[in-house]
Structure 1
Amino acid sequence: MHFVLLIVAGIAVAGGVTMGLWNWLTPTLFGWPSISYLQALGLLVLTRLLFGGLRHHGFGHHCRLPVESMSEEERAQLRERLHRCGFGRRWLKCRNGEAKDDEPKAES
C-alpha cells in the first residue's frame, strides 16, 4: 500500500514540476502558452509513450552494450574499435563497418 502511495505522490510531484518548468521557460523562450496541471500530466504520459513505451525500461534500454557478458577478448576488440572510430563525425560510418584506417580522425 505504501508503494502505491509513493508512486501516486511521485506522479503528482512530477506533474507539478513539469507544469512549473513549462510555464517558467516556454512562454519566455518561445512565446508558447502556459499549461494547466492536467496538461502537464498529459505531457508526461505523452513523453512516456513516445520515448519509453509501456514497459518500465526507457528508450536507452535497447542501446546498451552487454559488456558484462563479453569475454576479455571481446572487450579488447570493442575498446580497439571504439578507439579507432572515436565518437565524433565518423561514429555512424564506423558502426556500419565503413570507416577506414587511412581516413583522418576527428580532433578533440
Structure 2
Amino acid sequence: MNILLVSPAYPPTFWSMQHAGRFFHAPSNVPPLGLLTVAAMLPQVWPQRLVDMSVEPLQEEHLAWADAVFVSAMDIQMQSAATVVRRANAAGVPVVAGGPHYTLYHETV
C-alpha cells in the first residue's frame, strides 16, 4: 500500500518562514514530526513518501502514486489541509486525517 504523508502549507504568517527563512537558509522551521512518527509505525513493507508543502507543492503525480493520503494539520493550516483533502477525494484516494485541527474539529470534517 503506497502511503503519501502530506504536511499542508502554512499561510504567510510567522510560522510559514516565508520571509525569515532566507536568514536561516531553511524553507521551514516546523518539521512534520507527527507524520514522521505515524510513518514509523506503519508496516515497513508499505512504500511511503512525504510531501511537506512548506518545501514543495503537492503534485498530481503524488496523488496518482498514492493508495492513501495521510494528512496532519494545525488550525493555521486548515485552508491548505482542506485543499489537500479535496484533491485527494477528487483523485479517488482515501484520506486519513489527524493532528490538532482534526482532533479539535472532527465533527466539522
TM-score range, shorter chain: under 0.3
Looking at secondary structure, tell me which structure has more strand per residue.
2
Looking at secondary structure, tell me which structure has more helix per residue.
1
The higher relative CO (CA closer than 8 Å, separation ≥ 6) is in 2
**If you compute each CA radius of gyration, which structure gives the higher value, 1 or 2?**
1
With the length of structure 2 as denominator, give the TM-score of the two structures: 0.23
With the length of structure 1 as denominator, give the TM-score of the two structures: 0.23
